[in-house]
Amino acid sequence: MANTTMAAAQIFGISRMRQHQAAPTLIMCSNTAKGAEEFSRLVNTGCKLVGCGSAVPSLRVTNNDLAKFIDTNDEWISTRTGIRNRRVLSGKENLTDLAIEAAQKALEMAEVDPKDVDLILLCSSTGDDCFGGAPVIQKALGCKHNPLAFDITAACSGFLLGLFSASCYIKAGGFKNVLVVGADAVSRFVDWTDRGSCILFGDAAGAVLVQACDIGEDGLFGFDLHSDGDGKRHLISTFKENETDDASSENPSTTSFPPKCSSYSYLQMNGREIFKFAVRVVPQSIEAALEKAGLAGSNNFDWLLLHQANQRIIDGVATRLEVPSERVISNVANYGNTSAASIPLALDEAVRGGKVQPGHVIAAAGFGAGLTWASAIFRWG
């Protein structure tokens, strides 16, 4: 019974380091053999990452390109952010197509047929349709039996919240194969005359396939998830009504109805506050996730993989965690900040480039608008 309680504790997110404390009471709704079998399946189910993929737009915008229409230069941008290039949607390209391409690559690597996908989670704050894009990905992939597909909106933390959700659906819901896609096109919400923000962002998509496995092969070890609405003001893109000159505006009694055409404002960011926020909370969050995983200490993982917001933030967090630069995954120089896509994009490049090998343990963290932040400790393959 003790082993069953410990396994159940792991499934429902209780720290392995805290299992000596009193365990919660788990109530079984059935005393039948079927109920016992289902409980046994739950406590003996793990999940692992078995495939990844990514996609970026064709248009590459360099720092020198930006210098043609704003007061900046390559040195000014690269020394402050580490960014030299970014990819931006153009022409007939759209974010959904990038997400589909990334998902297809993840399925191919995992050798999983689309008909065997049970769930698709699209982590995005800048989708092509405000009602969500995950079902469109489901259709394009050719998934059968209408598997559940929905969007998660948590900006730069979105992918890790999707990863956590996938583990919950697998470990507690009986799902077998879950696609987690991170995709964002922040370029749509950037004021390209504001050098304080437009230099930072790019567009991309990345995906992973999370698969059920025996608990002994479990590759998702620990999570730490937070939000702080008080910090929302530091990174926002707010809803607004567009100004119109229609006839109704002349009659005060009709100005509030019907509603005017609406949109969202340009992204507004307090870079100094976001930097201080990130270098403060991210090391704490990673350490908490490592403790929950029973892997406390920077020597117990192979790679540090952070949301690719800014090289200075990445370096600051690595320094606080005492992780040497050779163990830090970074591709921010080539793509800039791609929001929810940044972690799976960097992971995919590291895996396909041979840097990340099966069995390697990765400490990952996302942080951004909300404010939200999340960390995950997982093994690749």
| Residue numbers annotated as active site | 156, 307, 337
Return d(Cα 209, Cα 141) in angstroms, integer: 13
- At 22, is the secondary structure helix, strand, or coil? coil
**Vertex 247 angle, CA 244 and 248, to 5°:** 85
Which stretch of DSSP H or E encloses residue 102?
helix 95-110
Spatial contact of 149 and 138, defined as CB atoms under 8 Å apart? yes
Measured CA to CA, the distance from residue 58 to residue 87 in angstroms comes to 7
CA separation for the pair 204, 120 (Å, rounded): 18
Which residue is it, tokens 């065997």? 116
- Cα–Cα distance between 18 and 11 in angstroms, integer? 14
The residue among 229, 260, 236 whose CA lies nearest residue 247 is 260
* The pair of three-digit structure tokens given for residue 252, joined into one six-digit string: 């005060």
Structure tokens at 63: 């720092």
According to DSSP, the β-strands at 59-62 and 85-88 are: antiparallel
Sign of the four-CA dihedral 44, 47, 50, 51: positive
Bridge partner list, 59? 88
DSSP 53-74: EEE--SEEEEHHHHTTTSS--H
Cis preceding-peptide flag for 371 (omega within 30 of 0): yes
**Under a CB-based contact definition with an 8 Å cutoff, are residues 364 and 306 in contact?**
yes
Rounded distance, CA 173 to CA 179, Å? 15
Question: Which residue type does 177 have?
Answer: N
CA triple 193-194-197, angle to 5 deg = 130
